[in-house]
A = this chain, B = another copy of it.
């Protein structure tokens, strides 16, 4: 559960917060950081960690429960459900296509903010 604590929410990304939480959970499942039967962080825990209102976390969990990805045990927290519902892996082709689009956007956006492509790349390298 401690490894999960690098989740982060961007409040001005144009992506709904509850959706970002869902996405993070999907990613963690894909990563193997969360496996069948693992316990998810409490709503209260996540709420404090991500600085997000508990209701918002609850909404994310509710939506995942509806899809059968997780299951809530009354008073015991929520757990990754035995039923798979994997992240519907993208084909390598589709993934690369999206990455191409995404990255050419990043470059343009960076430039429009006065950042060169080199500065961008250096930043990303340092970030690892």
B residues near A91, Cβ cutoff 8 Å:
88-89
**Cβ proximity bits A115-126 to B, threshold 8 Å, 1 near / 0 not:** 111111101100
Q: Is the CB of A24 within 8 A of B111?
A: yes
Size class of the contact patch on chain A = 35 or more
Asked, given contacts A19-B14, A88-B90, whether A102 binds B112 with beta carbons under 8 Å apart, the answer is no
Q: Which residues of B contact A104 (CB under 8 A)?
A: 8, 10, 13, 27, 30-31
Asked if A1 CB lies within 8 Å of chain B CBs, one says: no
Contacts from A to B (Cβ < 8 Å): 8-10, 12-16, 19-20, 23-24, 26-27, 29-31, 63, 66-69, 83-91, 93-99, 101-121, 123-124, 127-128
